[in-house]
């Protein structure tokens, strides 16, 4: 497994614990539909929450939040639609992003709720 995969997995573990501590009920992790993947699927306050986790080392160039561009948002929206169809959920959906910045002995976690809204295209 590549270094970036290990970093990503570590970030997802940190994000899952972070969200659980804030009342999110984690339903699924790394859910896939074809080429689309959702890092974490949770329920919180009556919402189905689609969570994208972005993990970077402290010396990153691009902000982890900025890396969730329109193309990535489109992938998440299509994955969420597939999940909703397959699981026949009627909860309202929102998209959150958790950024994890890892340094030598610590990590910084930030949550952006309602990070973006699906656009009609």
Residue 112 in domain: no
CB-based contact 41:31 (threshold 8 Å): yes
Sequential pLDDT tens for the chain (121 residues): 555 567 778 889 999 999 999 999 999 999 999 999 999 999 999 999 999 999 888 766 667 777 888 899 999 999 999 999 999 988 999 999 999 998 878 889 999 999 998 875 5
Residue 69 in domain: yes
Residue 51 in domain: yes
What gap in Å lies between CA 47 and CA 16, rounded to an integer?
17
Residue 17 in domain: yes
The predicted model scores a pTM of 0.89
* Domain range for 29: 3-107
Element (H, E) at 36: strand 36-44
Domain count, the chain: 1
Residue 116 in domain: no
74: CATH? 3.40.1350.10
């Amino acid at each position: 497994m590549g270094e970036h995969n290990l970093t990503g997995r570590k970030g997802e573990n940190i994000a899952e614990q972070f969200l659980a501590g804030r009342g999110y009920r984690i339903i699924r992790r790394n859910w896939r539909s074809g080429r689309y993947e959702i890092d974490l699927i949770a329920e919180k306050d009556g919402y189905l929450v689609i969570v994208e986790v972005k993990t970077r080392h402290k010396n990153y160039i691009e902000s982890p939040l900025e890396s969730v561009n329109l193309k990535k948002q489109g992938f998440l929206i299509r994955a969420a639609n597939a999940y909703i169809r397959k699981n026949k959920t009627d909860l309202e959906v929102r998209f959150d992003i958790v950024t994890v910045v890892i340094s030598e002995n610590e990590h910084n976690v930030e949550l952006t709720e309602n990070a973006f809204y699906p656009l009609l295209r």
